[in-house]
Structure 1
Amino acid sequence: MTATQFLELVKNFKTGTGIRLPRIESGAFKQNIGKINHIIKNERYGEIIAIEQIPISPRISENAIVLRDGIKILVSQRKKIAMPEEVSEVLSFDSEGKLFWDQHVLINEFRSRVVQIGLEKIAGEIAATWHDIFSFKAEKKNSSGEITDFGFRPPQLGALHAIGSHWSLYHSAGTLVMPTGTGKTETMLATMVAYNPGKILVVVPSRALRAQTFEKFLTLGLLRKLGNIGFDSLNPIVGVVTSIPKSDEDLTIFDKCNVIIASMGALNEDIHFQSSKKIASKVDALIIDEAHHIAAPTWTAFKEFFQEKKVLQFTATPYRRDGKLVDGKVLYEYALQQAQVDGYFKKINFYPVHQIDDLLSDSDIANEAVQILKQDLTAELDHILMARCADTTRAGKVVEIYRQLAPELNPVLVHSVEKGSEASLRKIFSRESRIVVCVNMLGEGFDLPQLKIAAVHDIHKSLAILLQFTGRFTRTSASKIGEASIVANIARAEVSLALERLYSEDADWNILLSEMSSQAARSHAELMKFLNESKQLEGGQDGVDAQEISHHLLKPTFNTMIYECEKFEPKRFHEGVPDNMSVQRVWLNDESKTIYFVTRVDFPLKWTRSKTIRDTEWHLFVIHYDQERKLIYFSSTEKTNFYDKMVSAVGATRQIREEQIFRTLGRINRLIFQNIGVKKNGRRNLRFAMYVGGDVVQALALTEKTGSSKSNLSGTGWENGAPVTIGCSAKGRVWARDPGSIPELIQWCENVGDKLLDESIDPSKIIDNVLIPEEVEILPAIRTLSIDWPMELLRKSQERVNIYDSHGKDFTLSLIDIDVAAMRKSVNEIVFTLSYNQESVWATFVLTVGGKDGFLVGEQGGDKLKIKMGRKDLFLSEYFSNYPPLIRYIDLSELDGNLLIKPQNPREFELPEQIFEPWDWRGVDISKESLWKEGNIRNDSIQWRVSQAYIAAGYEIVFDDDAAGESADLVCLREEADFIRLALVHCKFTKGKEPGERVNDVVEVCSQAIRSTKWKWKFKDLCTHILGRETRLASAIRQSRFLTGNANLVNRVSQVSRFKEIKLEIIIVQPGISKANISPDQKIVLAASHSFLQETVGIELQIICSD
C-alpha cells in the first residue's frame, strides 16, 4: 500500500464516529501436523472522541485515535516501531484496506506467558474460568415473530439439556439430529463452556468445514452476542490438525489446546504409526459434526477407542451416506417441520424439469434456474444461484452454459483444483457474480444464506443435506431473502430415486418440499399422497427412536384376513391389543380408511432369570376398510395368532374363510400349485398333510374324497398380464410373496376382496383348470412348440449372464440362441443346441428323462462351455442338470426336467379370425427373410417390407435384431400420449415344400413369439439388450442396426417407461401362411401360441400373412 493510499484511509477517522477494532490474536503457533491459535480479545467497537498527533521519533509524528474509554491507539504504516509511553497498541492497514494490529500489549503478554508456563497450563487456566459463566438464556419473540431478546433457540436449548442429561448418566455415544441452520455449531460451543468436559476433539468431514469450525471455536461464535456468556469471557486455545500424525511428537498438539479441530482424512492412521489409541488417551470428549458422512470401517475402528470417553454426534439427518442410520442413542431430534414452524427453515419450492435427452438436460435445468433467479432479483431478493455438478469436467461444461445464458450475472466456477476459486468466491460474496457452479466445495459448512437457488445437474451427495443447506434461514439473514428453489431433472432415474429415498427418510419433507407441477411416477405420487394424509396418533410409546420406525420406512409383506363390516371405528383397535403387547407408533389415514401401527412384545428368555434381558419382537399391523365392498382387511407380520378381539373392536363381523377364500385363485391364468395342504379326518397324526412338487396330483385327488378338504394352497400364475404368486388358507388368510408400500398392499387387498365377492368364481372349477406338475419317465408324444432358457436365467438381465468357451472368451446370453435339434422319443432324449451366430452350432446337449435322478443333461458335442454364477464357474451341462431348459408343447404343457406340467382338464384352443392380417406381397421375394445378407441390404426381403411399414406408421425406433440371441427380428417402439407401444415382429419365409415342413416353419416362428413375451415385464432389460447388441454386432460393413432411431432415443424411451405403461404387441409375419387355406396342423400351432399369449401377457397374437 502506498503512503498516499494509507493517508486516504486515515482521513476516514473522525471525531464522534465509531471504529471496528480487529480482534487480538496471539498469532499462530506452528506444530508438526497443524497449528494452534488463540483469540485474546474478540473484535469490538469503539467511539473516537479525539485524534492526536503523537511523536514516535524526534522528527516524526503519527496519528493516534483516542477512544471514549481513554485508550490511545497509534495508527502507522511503519513496521515494529518503538511505541511511545502513552500508547500500547498500534493499528495498521493491510493491502486490502483492512485494519490489523501491528503491535498490542496483550499479544506481548500472552506470548511471554507461553514461554514461562506453556500453552497446556494456559489452556487449563482458561477452562477453569468457564465455571458457571454460561447462562441458559432463551431467545424471546413477540406476537409478530420478531426477536425481542437474543438467546439460545429452542433446538439449541433442547439439545444442550439433552446432552447434560445424558452425560449425567452415561458415557456412551449420543446423537443429536439438528437440521442445517438451526445452530449446531453454537450448541457445540455451549457444550464446551457449560459442561466443561475437558479436552475436546471435534471431527468434521471436509477442509472447508474444518476451517469454519476452527474459526467458530476461536471466537466462541455468537455466545456473547446472544447473551449466553459475558463479553469478557475467555476464548479457548484451539488447534487444527491438517496432516496425518506419524510420531508421538506429532501428537503433542493435543496436549496444548482446549479443543482440537480435525477432518476425518487427517485422522487416518499412518501405516507405520498407530495413532488412534494414543489420540483417545489425550482427549476427554469427542464431538463428530455431520456424522451422516461417517460410513468407512476405518472410521468406525477409530471411534472404538473412545468407548470410555464422552462422545457426541451432530447430524442434519440421521441417515449416513450409505443409507444406514447413524449409530448411537438419539438424545435429541429437532424435526424439519418444527424448524419451519419456528422460522428457522423456509419452504422449498421444487421445480422439476422433465427432459429425457441427457444432451438437453443441463440446458433445461440452467434455463429454469436462471429464470427463477432473475424473477427473484426483480423482486429485490438478495439471492444467489448454486449449480451442483458431479465432477470438475462436468462443472467446466455446465459453467459455459450459464455464461451463454446469463453473461450479465457473471457465472463463476469453484472447485478444489480450480486456481481462481478464492477469487471467484470473493465475487460471490461481493455480489459481483450471482451464479456459482461448484463440485463439492460449497458443502454444509459453507455459510452464505443467500444461496437460495440450487440447480441440481448431478445427484452425488445426500439430497436431504442439499435441500437443508438451501432452505435454511439464519438469524443473520436480512429480509431480502425469500423462499428457496430447487431445480432438478426428474426424468433421470438417479434424481427420482434420490427423491424417493428423501421422502422415505423423513416425513417432513412432504410438507417442506413443494413439488411444482411434478410429473413423478404414479406409484411414487400415490405413496406421497398416502403418507401426507397419514396422521400420527397419540398413545404410542417412546421405547425406541422415532426414526427407526418412521412410517416412511414401512414395507409390509402382502398378507391379509378379510372380514365383513358395516361401521369402521379404527381408533378402537387398542381395545383388542393383548396385555403383553405395547403399541409404539400409530398412524391413521382418514381418507383411505386405514390405520396402521407398530407393536413390541418383550418375552422372558428361558436360559436366564434376569428381568432386564428380554427377547423383543416387533410387528406391523395394517387395518384397511374397503367402504365400497364393506370389507375389513387385517394384515400383520405376526401370523401365529388370530386377533379376533382387535378386528371386532374396529367393527368386523363375519370372517370370510373356508371354501369362499379359495375364490382368491380366480382370474389367474396358468396357475401352478407349489404346495397343497390337505386336512383329513381320522387319526390325530394324519389330520394334516402337506404336498409339494409332483405330489400335488395326489393332494388334489384327496381333496375330492369324502372326509378330506383343502387346508391351504399356494402357487404361481399370471394375472393382468404379469406373473403373480398367491397363497390362501381355509382359515381365512391370503398371502403373496413380495413386499411393497402400504398403498400397494391396500390395492392388492382390494383386488383380493373383489374376487372374494365375485359369485361367478367357482372355487371347484378353479381347481379344474390348474396346471398339474407330474413326474414322468418317458417323453410325451406331443409336437414340441418351443424351448427356452431356465426361469432362473430369464429372471436375470441377459447382458449380465456370461457363458465362456474353452478358451475363456465370454458371450452374453443376448448373443446366444437355444434351439431344439431333435426329439428322440424312443430313448426319451431331447437334443438341443446353442449357437452364437446363425451359421454354426456352438455346442450340443442332450436332456434325458428317467433314471435315478429323474433327468440328466449332458454335453454331446462342440465346445466345453461354462457359465459363471456369482464367483463360481460351472460347466453348462452341470448347471442344466440342476436348472434344465423349459420345453413347451403345442398343447401348452411344459416339461421342466422330469416334471410335466399340464392342465388337469385340457381344452380346445380357438383361433379368432380377426388376428389374421393379409398383406399384398407384390415386389417381395417371399423366399428372402433377412433384410441384410452378405454385406448388402435386400430391399425385396420380407423384413425390409415390414420395417418400412412400421417406419411409415410413425415408429421412432425400428431396430434389426435378427441374429442369434435375438429378442425379435424387428423391435419397433413408438411413444404415445399415455403409453409406449412395443411391437416385437418375428418374420419367417417358407422353406418347406411338404405340408409337414410348412408346419415346422410355423412352429419355429411361434416359438420365437412365445419366447419374446418376457420383454413385457423386462422393458429396461430390452433397452439394455438393444444397446448391447448395437455395440457387439457392429462391423466395418454394417455400423448400425437402427433402421430408424438411435441409441439416444432408446435411452429416452427407457427413461420414459418409468412414467408410461408398456403396451406390447407380438406379431408373426409369414407370407407362407394363407388366411383362406391354412392347414389344420398350422392352425393348432397358431391357436396354442395365441392362447399362451392371452393367458400370460394378456394380448392377442397378430399374424401378418397372405390372402
Structure 2
Amino acid sequence: MQEIKLKNNEFKFNVDANGHTIHPRKVSESWIHAYNEKYSNSEDENGLRDPQYGALNAIRAHWTVSNDPANIVMPTGTGKTETMYATILSERINTTLIVVPSDQLRKQTYESVQYFGILPDINMLDRSSALMPNTTILRSIPSTLKELQELIQNSNVIVSTISLLSKYNHEYKNLLASVCDALIIDEAHHIGAKTWSDFKGYFREKKILQFTATPYRNDHKKITGKYIYNYPLALAQKKGYFKKIEYYPIREYDDMKGDLAIAEKAVEILKKDIDKGFNHIILARAKTRKRAEELYNTIYNKYYSDLNPVLIISGQGKRKNDAYMEKLKEYKSKIVVCVDMFGEGIDISELKIAAIHDKYKSLPITVQFIGRFARQSKRLGNASLITNIANDDLKDQVDELYQQDSDWNELLNVISTEKVDEQIDLQDLLDAFDSIDVSTINIEQLQMKISTRMFNYKGIEWIEEGWKSVLDSDNTMYHYSNTEKLMILVEKFESSVHWSSQKDIAELGWNLFVIFWDENNHIIHINETDQQKGNKLIKAMFPESTRLEGDVMFRTLNGVNRLMIGTLGLKNELPGKLSYRMFAGTDVAEGVSNAVRGISTKSNIFANGFSGNGKVSIGCSYRGKVWSRWVESIKYWKDWCGDISAKVKDDSIETEDILKGSLKGKSVSKFPEGVIYRAELSHDAESENSDRKGFTKGKIKELVPLYNCELKVEHEKKDNQTIILILEINQERIKFEYIITNEYFEINQIEGPQIYYVSGKKIIPVEEYFYNEPPTVWIIGKGNIYSLQTNIQVELNGPSNGKLSEEHFILQDWKKNNVDLKKESQGKDKKSNTIQYSVINHILKKDKDYLIIFDDDGTGEIADVVAIKDNDKEIIFEFYHCKYSSSDKPGSRVADLYEVCGQTEKSLRWASDYIAIMNRLIKREVERNREYGTRIERGSLNDLNTIKNKLKAGMNAKINMNIVQPGINSKKISDEMHIILLACESYLKETYGSSLKVYCS
C-alpha cells in the first residue's frame, strides 16, 4: 500500500507492478472469490452472528426493491461495524462514504476498514487473494476541488465526520456524491435533522444506510428513513451478546452527599467483583471538566487513592491522558473520572461499573453508554450502573430508556433497598399480573385517561377467555390478574384511509381495554377506546351484568368542596320540541334550578372544585360514565374506580343537595355590598418564576418580572360600580379603575406611568392584558363571600355566624419582646423591635424541627416568613403572614384583618406547585445575597436544593397558614372579625386541607 497526504487528509492505495494505482473496480473484483460468507451457529464457530447476518440479509432484500434511505438498528456491541464491512464486500460496492460522529471514531474506522476489521480473522476474507480497499480519511477541507478529486476518485472507502462534510461547499458535496456508490452513516442518532437532510440530499440517487443503536436522534425525534431491521435488546441478552446490568438506584436528596453515596456504592461493588476474580474498572461520569476535577479531587482521589484513580479530560495534555490510559489498560488504575470517554470512541471492556454523577445531554448517548457496559465477555462479570434517582434528571434519563425500548426492563436488573410507597404499591400490582402473552406492551408504562363505565354484577366468577370471542387473539396482547381482578387488552387493527380506495394503503391503529371487577361493591369498571367492543367484552366475560346508570351516577360529585359546575346537560321532561339543553357559564344557574325543581332530568355534568388536597375535576353522565381530566397509572385508576364505586353505592347521598350547594356564576351590573379584601392576577401569574413575563414602564424600559409585581385593592369601594385596584411594581403603586357596566367590564389606568405587559416578544398595553386575562377580586359582606371576574359574580358558601375556636389562637406577649405593634418588617438591618423579627427569633427559632427559616419579606413574597420541616415522609411548609397594627394598642378592629386574611388565602395558590415554591425561594436568596446578604435565618442554600429534590422525586407536602396580627386583642374579637377568620379557615381547609393559626395579643 502507498500513501498520499494532502494537508491533514490521507489516501492509502494499492499499486500494480508498474506502480500505478489499482482502480476501485479492480479492487472490488478481487473480493468475488476471496469473500466467503459464514454464519455462526455457536460460540465455537467463526462467522456472522444472528444480528449481523439478519441485518446483512435485510439490506440485500431492501436493495432488491428500493434505493430509499434505510435504517438498521443494532444494539451497541452486536457488531454493526463488521456488518458495514460485510455489506461492502458481499455487495462489491466500488466506493463507499462512511460518515461518523467524532474525530476518534473517524480515526478508529479509518484504521479498521483498511483491513476490514476482524473479517479476515474469522476466515470470511482470504488475505492472500483479496486486495484491501483503497482508503481515504478526510480531516480537513481540501484547498481546491482538484485536491479533493485526487484524494477520492480512486477510493473504495472514504471516512469522515458530518461536522466536517457539512462545511464543504456545493461543488465539493456534488463531487463526493458523484464518486460514491453508497453512503453509510454510523451512529446516525448523533446527526441533527437539518444537517443530515441537507447533506443527504446530494446522495438521493445513491444507496444510503443509517446504522444506530437507537432509533431516536439526540433531539428525541425518530431518525428519518425506512426501518428495515431492528434487533431487539431482549433477544441480544437472551443470545448472550449482553449480560444483565445490575442497576443500583440510590436515593440521596442532598446533592453533595449524593455524589459520595454514588462513589461509595461503586467502590463497594468493585471490591466484591475483584474478590470474584474480575478485573473490573469504575468509570465515574461528570458533565463538565470542572465537575470531573471536583469529583476527582474531593471524592475519588481523596477517599480511594488506594485504587489509583485517574482523571482523563480534555485540556490537561495528550501525554498525560495517554499515560493514564495505559494505567487503565494495564489494570494499575481501577477508577477513571471523565466526561465523555465513550463519546470519543474509547473502548475498554473492563469498564464494567458506571457511576453516573451527571446525566448525558441526550438519551441516545445514554443508551450507547450503558449498552457498552453490558457487552458479553467470558473473563468479565455483570455490569453495574449506579445513579442517584433523587436527582430527577438522572432518573428521567433511565426511565426514558424503558419508554423508548421496553426490552430495557429485561436488561436492567433493578437492585434497590429503597422504594417510596407509591412505587411499592404499583410494583405489587404489576407483580400480581399473570402474563399469558409475550407482549411488546409494557404495562408499567401504561398511562390512562381517567374514566370508567360501570356495570352491576352479582356473579362470583368471570369468563376469563370470553374476550377471544370479541377480539382477534392473533392481534391482541393481554395481561390479567386473578388476585387483583384486572385485565388489560391491547388490540392491533388496520383500517382503510379516507382519502384513497386503494386496498394496500391502510392505517395501523390500537385499541386499549382495561377491565376491573370491584368485588366488594359488585361493580365492573371498563376503560376503553372502542365503546362498542367494550360492551361486547363485558357481555362475553360477565354475562349477567347490567349497565349501571341513572341518577345514582351524580353521587360521584359528593365530597367535592366549592363545586363549580362548568357544563350541565338536561333532558326536558315536559312536552315540547326541545328535548335536550346544554347549560354553560352563567346559564348553569338556570339549569340547576330546572333540575332541582324536577322540570328536567340530569343527563351529564362536568364540574371543578377542591378535595381538601387540591383541585379536582370530575364529569359524570346518566348513562353510566364518570371521567376526569387526568392521565395516570393503572394503579391510580384502579383505586379511583374503587372510590367511585363506594359513592355510587352510598344511598345516603342526595344528588339534589349536591346541586343546590354548587357554586353558580351570574352576570351583574354592580358590585355586591361588603368590603374588598383581596385581588389576584389571573392564571397563577403571581407564582410565575419566568424572567420573560412581567410589566414595564414604557415599551423600552426595563422589564419587572411578575414575581416582583403584586395586585392589591383599596378596601373601600369608590361606589357600587367601581373598585380601585393597585398594581405594585417594585414598590411603585399604579392605580386602576375596575368598572362594571350593564354591558361588560372595564379596567382603566388612572394614575402612574403608562404600563405594558410583556411575555417573551409580545408587548401589549396593560389595559389589553387585563381584558384578555381578567383579575379576580373577593368581597366579603354580612355572612357572604363573593368572587368577581369580569362582570361574573360567584357567591361562595361562607359562615354567617359562629366563632373560630380557641385552639386556633396563639397568644403572645409582644411587650416582653420589645415589639412595636406598628412596625412589621425587620428589613435588611433586622430590626429587633419588629413583628417579623419576633416571629423568627422568639417563635420559630425555639422549634428545633425547622430545617429552614426563610425571610421572604418584600415585593413578590410568598409570605413574610416561610418555615420548612422535613419529617422524612412529608415536607411541611409554614407560611407566616405578618401585619402591623393600625393602632398602638391591641383591639377589635376589623380593618386589621382584611388584608392579612386576603394575603393568607392568596398565598394558598402555591399549594398547587411545591417545586415552584422552592424555585422562588432559591431565586430570591441568590438575588438578595449578591447585594444585601442572605434571607436564610436557618439552614442553607444546599438545604433548599435538597428539599426541592425530594419534592421532584414525589415526596408529599402540605402548607399550614399562620396569621400574625398583634393588633388583635384575643379577648375583644368581634362577631364580624370571627366571621372573617372563619371564612378564611374554611377556605384553607376545603381547598388544600391547610390549617390556620392566629398569633395575636
Do both share a fold (TM > 0.5)?
Answer: yes
Q: Which deviates more from structure 2 when the two are superposed, residues 908-917 or residues 255-264?
A: 908-917
Structure 1 Cα separation of the partners of residues 900 and 728 of structure 2: 17
Structure 1 residues 591 and 308: alpha-carbon distance in aligned structure 2, compared to 1, 3 A threshold: farther
Structure 2 Cα separation of the partners of residues 355 and 496 of structure 1: 12
* SS of the residue 1:791 aligns to: coil
Deviation, 1:574, is: 3.8
User: Which residue of 2 is the match for residue 816 of structure 1?
Assistant: 709
| 1:384 aligned onto 2:277 | no
Per chain length, whose mean CA-contact separation is higher, i.e. which structure has more relative contact order (CA < 8 Å, sep 6+)? 2
Instruction: Output one character per residue of 1:193-249: Cα deviation in whole Å (capped at 9) or x when no partner.
Output: 233344322222222222222233222223233344445452333322223467533
Structure 1 residues 381 and 284: alpha-carbon distance in aligned structure 2, compared to 1, 3 A threshold: same
Counterpart amino acid of residue 156 in structure 1: Q
Matches within 5 A, 1:1008-1023: 1008-1023=903-918
Structure 1 Cα separation of the partners of residues 204 and 483 of structure 2: 48
Residue of structure 2 aligned with 1:918, choices 790, 811, 830? 811
Structure 2 Cα separation of the partners of residues 810 and 539 of structure 1: 58
Q: RMSD value over aligned CA atoms?
A: 3.1
Task: Verify the 8 A CA contact 2:958 2:994 in the aligned structure 1.
Answer: no
| 1:450 aligned onto 2:350 | yes
User: Which residue of 1 is the match for residue 326 of structure 2?
Assistant: 426
Structure 1 Cα separation of the partners of residues 996 and 560 of structure 2: 20
Instruction: Output one character per residue of 1:529-588: Cα deviation in whole Å (capped at 9) or x when no partner.
Output: 666766765598xxxxx6xx76566533222212234434455324234x9x99464444
Deviation, 1:794, is: 5.2
Deviation, 1:263, is: 1.9
Structure 2 Cα separation of the partners of residues 351 and 600 of structure 1: 36
User: Which residue of 2 is the match for residue 956 of structure 1?
Assistant: 851
| 1:120 aligned onto 2:24 | yes
Task: Verify the 8 A CA contact 1:803 1:811 in the aligned structure 2.
Answer: yes
User: Which residue of 2 is the match for residue 139 of structure 1?
Assistant: 41
User: Which residue of 2 is the match for residue 343 of structure 1?
Assistant: 240
User: Which residue of 2 is the match for residue 513 of structure 1?
Assistant: 412
User: Which residue of 2 is the match for residue 84 of structure 1?
Assistant: none
Residue of structure 2 aligned with 1:172, choices 56, 62, 68? 68
Matches within 5 A, 1:931-942: 932-933=825-826, 936-942=829-835
Residue of structure 2 aligned with 1:465, choices 337, 360, 368? 368
Matches within 5 A, 1:346-365: 346-365=243-262
Deviation, 1:297, is: 1.4
User: Which residue of 2 is the match for residue 716 of structure 1?
Assistant: 608
Matches within 5 A, 1:567-716: 567-577=461-471, 583=475, 585-588=477-480, 592-599=484-491, 602-605=494-497, 608-614=500-506, 617-638=509-530, 641=532, 643-651=534-542, 653-681=545-573, 686-706=578-598, 708-716=600-608
| 1:1043 aligned onto 2:902 | no
* SS of the residue 2:857 aligns to: coil
Structure 2 alignment gaps of length 5 or more? none
Q: Which deviates more from structure 2 when the two are superposed, residues 253-262 or residues 931-940?
A: 931-940
Task: Verify the 8 A CA contact 2:821 2:967 in the aligned structure 1.
Answer: no
Residue of structure 1 aligned with 2:749, choices 831, 834, 859? 859
Residue of structure 2 aligned with 1:333, choices 204, 207, 230? 230
Structure 1 Cα separation of the partners of residues 576 and 213 of structure 2: 61
Residue of structure 2 aligned with 1:850, choices 726, 733, 741? 741
Instruction: Output one character per residue of 1:659-692: Cα deviation in whole Å (capped at 9) or x when no partner.
Output: 1111221111111111111222578862222221
Structure 1 Cα separation of the partners of residues 332 and 12 of structure 2: 33
Structure 1 residues 377 and 1052: alpha-carbon distance in aligned structure 2, compared to 1, 3 A threshold: same
Residue of structure 2 aligned with 1:319, choices 208, 216, 231? 216
Deviation, 1:1050, is: 1.0
User: Which residue of 2 is the match for residue 928 of structure 1?
Assistant: 821
* SS of the residue 1:343 aligns to: coil
Matches within 5 A, 1:1024-1063: 1024-1034=919-929, 1038-1057=932-951, 1058-1063=953-958
Matches within 5 A, 1:3-82: 26-31=1-6, 34-37=9-12
User: Which residue of 2 is the match for residue 1085 of structure 1?
Assistant: 980
Task: Verify the 8 A CA contact 2:469 2:540 in the aligned structure 1.
Answer: yes
* SS of the residue 1:998 aligns to: coil
Structure 2 Cα separation of the partners of residues 239 and 533 of structure 1: 58
| 1:238 aligned onto 2:135 | yes
Deviation, 1:114, is: 7.6
Structure 1 alignment gaps of length 5 or more? 1-25, 39-109, 141-146, 541-545
| 1:1064 aligned onto 2:964 | no
| 1:282 aligned onto 2:179 | yes
Counterpart amino acid of residue 843 in structure 1: I
User: Which residue of 2 is the match for residue 17 of structure 1?
Assistant: none
Structure 2 Cα separation of the partners of residues 526 and 167 of structure 1: 50
Structure showing greater Rg: 1
Task: Verify the 8 A CA contact 1:670 1:770 in the aligned structure 2.
Answer: yes
| 1:560 aligned onto 2:452 | yes
Structure 2 Cα separation of the partners of residues 830 and 391 of structure 1: 55
User: Which residue of 2 is the match for residue 54 of structure 1?
Assistant: none
Matches within 5 A, 1:537-556: 538=437, 554-556=446-448
Residue of structure 2 aligned with 1:946, choices 839, 846, 855? 839
Structure 1 residues 858 and 231: alpha-carbon distance in aligned structure 2, compared to 1, 3 A threshold: same
Counterpart amino acid of residue 342 in structure 2: L
| 1:772 aligned onto 2:664 | yes
Structure 2 Cα separation of the partners of residues 459 and 583 of structure 1: 38
Structure 1 residues 935 and 978: alpha-carbon distance in aligned structure 2, compared to 1, 3 A threshold: closer
Deviation, 1:407, is: 2.7
Structure 1 residues 111 and 157: alpha-carbon distance in aligned structure 2, compared to 1, 3 A threshold: closer
Deviation, 1:1022, is: 1.0
Q: Percent identity?
A: 31
Deviation, 1:833, is: 0.4
* SS of the residue 2:487 aligns to: strand
Structure 2 Cα separation of the partners of residues 878 and 669 of structure 1: 33
Structure 1 Cα separation of the partners of residues 763 and 711 of structure 2: 20
User: Which residue of 2 is the match for residue 487 of structure 1?
Assistant: 386
Task: Verify the 8 A CA contact 1:203 1:261 in the aligned structure 2.
Answer: yes
| 1:880 aligned onto 2:763 | no
Task: Verify the 8 A CA contact 2:819 2:832 in the aligned structure 1.
Answer: no
| 1:828 aligned onto 2:721 | yes
* TM-score for both structures, normalised by structure 2: 0.91
Structure 1 Cα separation of the partners of residues 860 and 910 of structure 2: 13
Instruction: Output one character per residue of 1:928-969: Cα deviation in whole Å (capped at 9) or x when no partner.
Output: 365655764332333222212212212121111122222111
| 1:220 aligned onto 2:122 | no
| 1:755 aligned onto 2:647 | yes
Structure 1 Cα separation of the partners of residues 794 and 803 of structure 2: 21
* SS of the residue 1:454 aligns to: strand
Deviation, 1:1080, is: 0.6
Task: Verify the 8 A CA contact 1:137 1:228 in the aligned structure 2.
Answer: no
Q: Which deviates more from structure 2 when the two are superposed, residues 610-619 or residues 522-531?
A: 522-531
Structure 1 Cα separation of the partners of residues 486 and 123 of structure 2: 49
| 1:896 aligned onto 2:814 | no
Instruction: Output one character per residue of 1:167-201: Cα deviation in whole Å (capped at 9) or x when no partner.
Output: 33332233232221122222222222233344322
Residue of structure 1 aligned with 2:97, choices 201, 213, 224? 201
Structure 1 Cα separation of the partners of residues 93 and 432 of structure 2: 45
Structure 2 Cα separation of the partners of residues 416 and 1064 of structure 1: 48
Task: Verify the 8 A CA contact 2:55 2:72 in the aligned structure 1.
Answer: yes
Instruction: Output one character per residue of 1:798-852: Cα deviation in whole Å (capped at 9) or x when no partner.
Output: 6663222225112222222321115436351111102245xx5421111111243
Structure 1 Cα separation of the partners of residues 173 and 715 of structure 2: 70
Q: Which deviates more from structure 2 when the two are superposed, residues 1063-1072 or residues 519-528?
A: 519-528
